[in-house]
Amino acid sequence: MKYDIIVMGGGQAGIFAAREALEKNPRLKILVIDKGKMLKERVCPKELTGKCVNCPVCAIIHGISGAGAFSDSKFNMDYRVGGDVHTIVGKERVNEMIAYVVGIYKKYGFEEKPSGERYNKTMLEIKRKCIEHGVQLVDTPTMHLGTDGSRRLYARLIDDLLKKGIEFRTERCLLDLVLKDGAIRGLTVQHKDKIEEYRSDHVILALGRSGAWKVMDLCKKYDIPYENGAVDIGVRAEIPDIVMKEINENFYEAKMIYYSRNYKDKMRTFCSNPSGFIAAEKYEDDVILANGHAFKDKKSQNTNLALLCTKTFTEPFKQPFEYATAIARMASMLTGGKLLVQSYADLKGGRRSTDEKLSRLNIVPTTEDYVAGDIALACPKRILDNIIEFIEVHDKITPGFASGDLLLYFPEIKFRSTRVEIQPNMETRVRGLYAAGDSSGYGSGLNIAAVMGILAARDILAKI
Ligand SMILES: Cc1cc2nc3c(=O)[nH]c(=O)nc-3n(C[C@H](O)[C@H](O)[C@H](O)COP(=O)(O)OP(=O)(O)OC[C@H]3O[C@@H](n4cnc5c(N)ncnc54)[C@H](O)[C@@H]3O)c2cc1C
């Protein structure tokens, strides 16, 4: 059977693309394919046993609703956070589209007021301290769904799409594209031990961060131009809530950017989770990465946030992906496939952490997926120097941040290195083939993924 649109990857970009197309033209035959399972079948053994058992397809990042389904789902309401598709579409257009997505969230029952819209005295003082210490505070209003709230929202959204006739095929991994005369004609997927072919003249590739490798391979194979972009490498920091109280209560998340003194590298905070939990994400080839999330109802006593160093590479180096993956593998080699954790006191003192030393701290880790050790054995010096400098600067804005009780989970890496060449309509050089969301290289958050998916769908609607 031939479909009007195939959405490859049922995450945020894919779901919002499919919804937009169906809403505007209910007669379309739309198919969404994903490597993972339907949302209701996505069960992580860790939720039952408390331990990661290294499933071949991780239920946290794969499956309908994508990585967003189990994320903290802070929805940033501004083009400056979540990606940089505004560089090809324009800032106003992106903000207009973000507002449209917020409208859709509301239709599916999300009613909470965003935080960070207006500054009070405490917030102004935090901003003043940022200015004093050379930190840029990116002040964008944020809606917070929480991991549980986001699951409820996606469940309603998916039920609606199923009711209206969108087809889903799960546990199918993209193998290849089918091209003819420079245009897309369909694709092949692996389903258990079978290869299946699906046909369509319009395919949206939305494979998320986990599928970025696959997108790069396809670009190489079919001569689709792409660039090596930046890669973000750093740590997930965890600190008692009490230290972050002012920021948490006033901003929920304060996004900070800082350029290190010696190396002039860009450092940023990312995805802060007050009263949240550390997450260990398993990718292919033994890559375990740190992340964090927070529930709306279940709370810990710790805040976690990423401290990331953005690295771009110049000629002749062309493999930022492989570079970052090698770092992650090195950490995984030291821990036997877990996160590497060290207290800030031990890192600064040049000694490894041990479980015994961690038990003397005021903080209790919110995950068991770690091995205490020495981050300096796996993290390149330049990145580690930047992290330490950023922690010290953060301490000036949030006194107590650079304490011995700060836990650092290594590595947290955001792979954004394949930036596919796309037009403002999200179409690649292959006619009918669109790229959206994290795997396009233009997205790194829920807001931009949804915007890109919708833009791709609208272009297809105009052409059908
Ligand atoms: C723990 C965690 C917390 C996060 N917190 C936030 C947050 O608070 N705010 C925010 O804005 N963003 C957050 N993010 C990022 C956000 O989830 C992503 O930016 C967003 O989900 C991107 O949407 P996407 O559709 O591009 O990709 P995804 O949501 O990752 O979806 C991609 C889909 O493609 C499928 N896929 C991949 N490869 C293949 C293949 N070869 N064949 C078939 N299917 C494939 C995957 O199974 C997946 O379902 C978080 C991410 C994580 C992991």
Please give the average per-residue pLDDT across 266-292, as a whole number: 89
CA-nearest residue for atom 12, ligand 1, is 445
pLDDT tens digits, one per residue of 374-402: 999 999 999 999 999 999 999 999 999 99
Q: Say whether pLDDT at 231 is over 90.
A: no
What does the pLDDT look like over 110-150, one tens digit per residue? 877 887 778 899 999 999 999 999 999 987 888 888 777 88
Atom of ligand 1 nearest to the CA of 71: 3
- Res 396: pLDDT: 97
Give the bridge partners for 144, in sequence order.
Answer: 74
Calculate how far, in angstroms, residue 209's C-alpha sits from the geometric centre of ligand 1. 6
- Side-chain half-sphere of 121: how many Cα atoms within 13 Å? 0
Q: Please state which of the ranges 67-71, 82-86, 174-178 shows the lowest mean pLDDT.
A: 67-71
**How many angstroms separate the alpha carbon of residue 62 from the centre of ligand 1?**
8
Residue with CA at minimum distance from ligand 1 atom 30: 208
- Give the tokens for residue 192: 């258990």
In the chain, % of residues over pLDDT 90: 74
pLDDT band at 338 (very low <50, low <70, confident <90, very high): very high
Top-confidence residue, 155 or 54:
155
Q: pLDDT at residue 285 above 70? A: no
CA 365, 367, 368, 373 dihedral sign is: negative
pLDDT tens per residue, range 13-57: 999 999 999 999 999 999 999 999 999 999 888 777 767 777 888
pLDDT at 10: 97
**For residue 292, what are the β-bridge partners?**
278
285 or 10: which leads in pLDDT = 10
pLDDT band at residue 417, thresholds of 50, 70 and 90? Answer: low
Q: Determine which residue's CA is closest to atom 18 belonging to ligand 1.
A: 445
pLDDT at 178 over 70: yes
- Average pLDDT of the chain is 92
Query: How many Å is the Cα radius of gyration of the chain?
Result: 21
**CA pair distance 371, 347, nearest whole angstrom:** 15
138 touches 76 (CB < 8 A): no
For position 135, what pLDDT does the model report?
97
Whole-angstrom distance, CA of residue 234 vs CA of residue 228: 19
Q: How far is the CA of 372 from the centre of ligand 1 (A)?
A: 28
Domains, the chain: 2-110+145-225+419-463 (3.50.50.60), 121-139+230-415 (no CATH)
pLDDT in tens, 207-230: 998 898 899 899 999 999 998 767
Average pLDDT of span 354-358: 97
**Which residues neighbour 20 within 8 Å (Cβ) at sequence distance 6 or greater?**
453, 454, 457, 458, 461
Residue ranges lining ligand 1, Cβ < 6 Å: 9-14, 34-36, 61-63, 66-68, 71-74, 76, 82, 173-174, 206-211, 214, 271, 279, 281, 291, 293, 437-439, 443-447, 449
What pLDDT band is residue 316 in, cutting at 50, 70 and 90? low
